Amino acid sequence: MNYGLPAKTRLFRRLSPLLALACLLVAVLALAGCGAAAPDVAGLTDTERSPDTPLVIAPGEPIVVGVSSALTGPNGVRGSEYRDGVIVAVERWKAANSETIAGHEIQVVAEDDGCTEADNAVVAAERLIQRSGLVGVIGPQCSSGVAAAMPSYAAAGVVTISGSATTTRLTTGQEEGGYFFRTAYRNDLEGTLIGLAGGGGGGLFLAQTAYLIDDGDTYGVDLSSNAALALRANGVDVTTVSVVPGSVDYGDLVSEIVGSGADFVGFAGFNPEAALLYRQLRAGGYAGVFGAGDGAASESDFVAPVGEAAEGALFAGCRIPLPADVASELESLSGRAPSASFTAHFADATTALLDAVQAVAEEGADGSLTIDPAELREAVRSVEIDGLTGALTFNAQGDRIPAPGVDLDDFHNAIIENFDPEAFVSLGLVPCQVQDGKLVNLFGPEAGTLRQ
């Protein structure tokens, strides 16, 4: 039955103009629905960079602030927050100074460095160095990444300021005139904080027998060995153990610790290992004090997965309280409240870099911008800012110091002699404790009270 339908060919001949119109309309509307086009961000170039080659940014081209942090993987949440800290710092710098530097806009390019994955940090470095208009890099995030990527950055004459890499030798092993700086404190200072605390300093706790466990990574081994030195100096009997990153079963180690009668267990490494070890320690009957370094101090990665059992755990390097407007801007970027340890340090690193760029960038008659790498490095070294983590500048080795001329070793020794761990606040180093599901700082601004 054909129901009186017209011939197929005749139907399509009549409909074709209407169909064409319909397709055109749909295509136009679909394109209109795609929203705003993606911004035009500086691309990769084949230009060779070196400490002796001035960086020239063509007229109208942007200044690029590079970020090297983990954007994926186990450290991706913290690394993304650090990138957001850089974005917020750029906006705050623009609001306090100018929208552009000599007419050049400021862009942020973030490369995923995998944090502890050294080969990824090298890939990130190689890609950032190729980015046209790159004036410097905020990062890398982890010490092992810095150690692996620093030769590339130094050979290219690219200033890097890490907000979170704390391994001591990254700066103490760097020749004067190096291109690496950090707004983070050093592990030997954090180790002293742990040692003084274990010896009763700051009224945090008093240990007699301690187990220090590291994750075998650059950062963990360095922090553990420095903490062991400081604890022994304060009369604590210390046993050190290394575990393999990625371990999930700590049953044998827990039995050993519980059997030893240790009253303090410290972990130098990251999550999830710290959270897993802690849960198994408590489940295994360990009732003493537990502490960990900055790498594990996280509400999202330690407190949340451990739950109520996390109450009372101590951390040596914790988040500096952020002004409400900064915290709000960060939350609007990621959809979560900021909780990582070094977000403020990354923001301060960004401010230092932009101040230095503005100080040395020379504007050409054609509107181009020329920056000499060595001049920029020296400008970073002499920058003085009153940042989110406090007042800071840098010493000749690239370490953060609270004021020009302060000898960091003398400063450190004075803290030990005075048995005064609270003085570390001026280096952005504060301990904290899990209280009611939150990390509560025990020294410095907005400090709470230790709960026994």
d(CA 363, CA 56): 10
CB 333 within 8 A of CB 88: yes
When the beta carbons of 55 and 108 are compared against another protein, the nearer one is 108
Report the sign of the C-alpha dihedral through residues 275, 281, 285, 288, in that order: negative
Report, in Å, the least distance between residue 343 CB and another protein. Answer: 14
Selection from 394, 384, 390, 386 nearest residue 424 by Cα: 390
When the beta carbons of 25 and 391 are compared against another protein, the nearer one is 25
When the beta carbons of 14 and 451 are compared against another protein, the nearer one is 14
Concatenate the DSSP letters of all residues of 28-95 into one string.
Answer: HHHHHTT-SPPP----B------TTS-EEE-TTPPEEEEEEE--SSTTHHHHHHHHHHHHHHHHHHHH
d(CA 33, CA 28): 9
When the beta carbons of 93 and 290 are compared against another protein, the nearer one is 93
Query: Which residues have C-beta within 8 Å of that of residue 45, sequence separation ≥ 6?
Result: 130, 131, 132
> Helices 251-260 and 273-283 sit at what angle, rounded to 10 degrees?
50
Concatenate the DSSP letters of all residues of 336-361 into one string.
Answer: S----TTHHHHHHHHHHHHHHHHHH-
CB 279 within 8 A of CB 248: no
Report, in Å, the least distance between residue 116 CB and another protein. Answer: 12
Give me the residues that bind another protein (CB under 8 A), please: 3-6, 11, 14-15, 18-19, 21-22, 25-26, 29-30, 33, 36, 38-42, 62, 71-74, 76-77, 83-84, 87-88, 90-91, 94, 105-112, 114, 119-120, 123-124, 127, 329, 332-333
Report, in Å, the least distance between residue 429 CB and another protein. Answer: 28
When the beta carbons of 46 and 52 are compared against another protein, the nearer one is 46
CB 39 within 8 A of CB 83: no
Report, in Å, the least distance between residue 72 CB and another protein. Answer: 5
Report, in Å, the least distance between residue 245 CB and another protein. Answer: 12
Please give the distance of CA 216 from its chain centroid, rounded to a whole number. 20
Peptide bond into 421 cis (omega under 30): no
Report, in Å, the least distance between residue 68 CB and another protein. Answer: 10
Report, in Å, the least distance between residue 26 CB and another protein. Answer: 6
When the beta carbons of 10 and 451 are compared against another protein, the nearer one is 10
When the beta carbons of 38 and 287 are compared against another protein, the nearer one is 38
